[in-house]
Amino acid sequence: MKTISAMIAFGIIVTIPAWAHAEARIVTLKKVEKDLYQTNDGAFIETSGCYVEANEEPAVLNYEKYACNNTIRFGTKKTCEVVSVF
């Protein structure tokens, strides 16, 4: 019985990271103002302390609402924290 309980607990621990990660999507960005970028489909991305100048630049957006590890990674390999997407 202990073995089964341990296997179930291990399965839950191993499974959680699989669904906890935000989904990555490629977006094309242009900088609107300090810490604010706009995607080619009209969405806005608010960042925190991001100084990357983007002009129709592709980037990888990792965002999940209410998550604390949302990021955007630019082609220059610079990564910035994402506060919100609207």
* pLDDT tens digits along 14-42: 444 444 556 899 999 999 999 999 999 99
Residue 3 has pLDDT above 70, yes or no: no
pLDDT value, residue 39: 96
The band of 6, judged by pLDDT with boundaries at 50, 70 and 90, is very low
CA distance 66 to 81: 13
User: What per-residue confidence (pLDDT) applies to 32?
Assistant: 96
63-to-1, 23, 59, 85 alpha-carbon distances in Å: 40, 7, 12, 8
At the top level of CATH, the class of 22-85 is mainly beta
pTM score over 0.85: no
79, 69 in Cβ contact below 8 A?
A: no
Q: CB-based contacts of 25: which residues, under 8 Å, 6+ apart?
A: 60, 61
- Residues 6 or more apart in contact with residue 35 via CB below 8 angstroms: 46, 47, 48, 49, 50, 83
